[in-house]
């Protein structure tokens, strides 16, 4: 029988931390039951593992009592790291004992999976260096700044590389769990769990869930003004060259500072602002795709569709049909 460790952080927790812990325990317990029923054996021994006998969540409203402490676990096969608080800057000292333990278990053959912002703990081990990583789209900029040698794949629900899995944000951890059930049990067990828990099977992207808000906590006042200019005038024809001249900065230096501050080139930023406005119109208005396209400053329908699909993973029409109830009538 394999061993599954569900980590229980000591501090830096949030509401989704508890959801990830309970969800993992629930789904793997049901997968065990179904697999035993069909194969007469249990795949995993499942244990909640922490740094003490009790961890408190949600300002003391709830508490989790891990079955074991990490010092009791000599060998495990799969480690699941739940989401942590999104305002992460560095791992709290109370949680740092996890790092050596995770590294040691991985070295001795364990696989590791992080859920949403649990990627912060995983990245702090160094095991994600030069690997791909998915995380909640709202944490991408902060994560890039803290861990610049990790390749972000925030359009993906799941990454899986060299025994290390990561996944996107919110309740997309449920898709990771179904993926892990198929990986460790089999396809029939994954299908069964997807039906019992009503989780879409094989979901691959989180792109259409992204809400673009330009990162402005970078401290470069000139770039903040440039961002605000773009956001207020995106429907007009904006020349990036003229924009740099507006702020009396050479184009190359302007581009360099813009990328450093926002993580996007000025052109990418302008495109993201246009597409975010288009998404909102497609969600709530009765306007046609072409009307929305012209309103946000595009005149080439092919270019608009290509950029929209690149950003959201859907065509403008598919996006409207998915999110606008009036479009489905």
The domain boundary residue, chosen from 147, 180, 209: 209
CA distance 123 to 110: 16
Given 209, 242, 273, which residue is the final one in a domain?
209
Dihedral of alpha carbons 118, 86, 50, 54, sign: negative
DSSP 37-103: HHHSS--EEEEEEESSS-EEETTTTEEE--SEEGGG-S--SEEEE----SS-SS--TTTTHHHHHHH
The span from the CA of 284 to the CA of 267, in Å, is: 26
Is 214 among the domain residues? no
Q: What is the pLDDT of residue 86?
A: 86
* pLDDT at residue 208 in the model: 57
Residue 261 resides in a domain:
yes
Total structural domains within the chain? 2
Predicted confidence at residue 222, as pLDDT, reads: 93
Q: What order do you get walking across the sheet with 68-69 strand by strand?
A: 68-69, 44-50, 2-8, 78-81, 111-114, 164-167, 158-161
- 237 and 203 belong to one structural domain: no
Instruction: Verify that 46 and 174 share a domain, yes or no.
Output: yes
Same domain, 155 and 232: no
Among 9, 211, 28, which Cα is nearest to 121's?
9
Q: What is the pLDDT of residue 53?
A: 86
**Long-range contacts: 19-24, Cβ < 8 Å, 24+?**
19/82, 19/83, 19/171, 19/173, 20/80, 20/82, 20/83, 20/115, 20/116, 20/118, 20/173, 21/48, 21/64, 21/82, 23/173, 23/174, 23/177, 24/80, 24/82, 24/115, 24/173, 24/177
Same domain, 39 and 161: yes
Same domain for 49 and 196?
Answer: yes
Does 24 share its domain with 66? Answer: yes
Residue 123 lies in a domain: yes
Residue 128, helix vs strand vs coil: coil
Residue 240 sits in a domain whose CATH number is 1.10.10.60
Q: What is the DSSP letter of 7?
A: E
Judge if 241 and 193 occupy the same domain: no
| pLDDT of amino acid 204 | 63
Residues in Cβ contact with 1 at an 8 Å cutoff, skipping those fewer than 6 apart = 41, 42, 43, 44, 45
Residue with tokens 């050596």: 100
292 lies in some domain: yes
Residue 10 token pair? 């000591």
- Asked if 7 and 128 sit in the same domain, the reply is yes
Given a contact cutoff of 8 angstroms between Cβ atoms, the answer to whether 257 and 223 are in contact is yes
- 73, 117: one domain: yes
Residues 6+ apart with CB under 8 A from 145: none
Please check whether residues 191 and 230 belong to one and the same domain: no
Same domain, yes or no: 93 and 175: yes
Print the domain residue range for 272: 221-328
Sole residue written with tokens 């009791």: 72
pLDDT mean for each 10 residues of the chain (329 residues)? 95 89 97 95 96 80 88 96 91 93 96 96 95 89 91 86 90 93 93 92 63 76 93 91 93 93 90 92 90 94 93 90 73
* Domain assignment present for 215: no
Residues 87 and 232 in one domain: no
3-state secondary structure of 205: strand
Q: What is the pLDDT of residue 207?
A: 60
- From 209, 231, 249, the end of a domain falls on 209
End-to-end CA distance of the chain: 52
- Tell me how far apart the alpha carbons of residues 3 and 291 are, in angstroms, rounded to a whole number: 56
| CATH code, domain carrying 95 | 3.40.50.880
Going by the DSSP 8-state scheme, the letter that residue 206 receives in this structure is: -
């Amino acid at each position: 029988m394999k061993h599954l460790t569900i980590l229980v952080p000591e501090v830096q927790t949030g509401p989704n931390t508890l959801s990830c812990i309970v969800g993992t325990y629930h789904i793997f317990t049901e997968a065990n039951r179904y697999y035993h029923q069909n194969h007469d054996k249990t795949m995993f021994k499942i244990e909640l593992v922490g740094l003490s006998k009790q961890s408190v969540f949600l300002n003391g409203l709830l508490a989790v009592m891990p079955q074991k402490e990490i010092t009791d676990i000599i060998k495990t096969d799969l480690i699941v790291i739940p989401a942590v608080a999104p305002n992460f800057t560095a791992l709290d000292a109370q949680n740092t004992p996890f790092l050596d333990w995770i590294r040691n278990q991985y070295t001795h053959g364990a696989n590791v999976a992080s859920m949403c912002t649990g990627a912060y703990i995983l990245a702090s081990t160094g095991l994600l260096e030069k690997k791909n990583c998915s995380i909640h789209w709202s944490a991408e900029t902060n994560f890039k700044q803290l861990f610049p040698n990790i390749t972000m794949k925030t359009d993906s629900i799941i990454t899986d590389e060299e025994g290390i899995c990561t996944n996107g944000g919110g309740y997309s951890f449920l898709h990771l769990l179904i993926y892990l059930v198929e990986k460790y049990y089999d396809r029939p067990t994954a299908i069964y769990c997807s039906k019992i828990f009503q989780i879409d099977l094989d979901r691959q992207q989180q792109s259409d869930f992204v809400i673009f808000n330009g990162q402005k906590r970078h401290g470069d006042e000139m770039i903040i003004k440039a961002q605000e200019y773009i956001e207020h005038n995106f429907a007009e024809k904006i020349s990036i060259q003229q924009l740099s001249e507006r702020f009396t900065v050479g184009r190359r230096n302007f581009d360099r500072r813009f990328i450093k501050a926002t993580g996007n080139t000025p052109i990418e930023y302008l495109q993201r602002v246009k597409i975010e406005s288009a998404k909102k119109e497609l969600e709530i208005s009765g306007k046609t795709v072409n009307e929305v396209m012209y309103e946000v400053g595009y005149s080439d329908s092919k270019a608009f569709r290509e950029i929209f699909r690149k950003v959201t993973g859907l065509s403008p029409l598919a996006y409207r049909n998915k999110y606008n109830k009036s479009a489905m009538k």
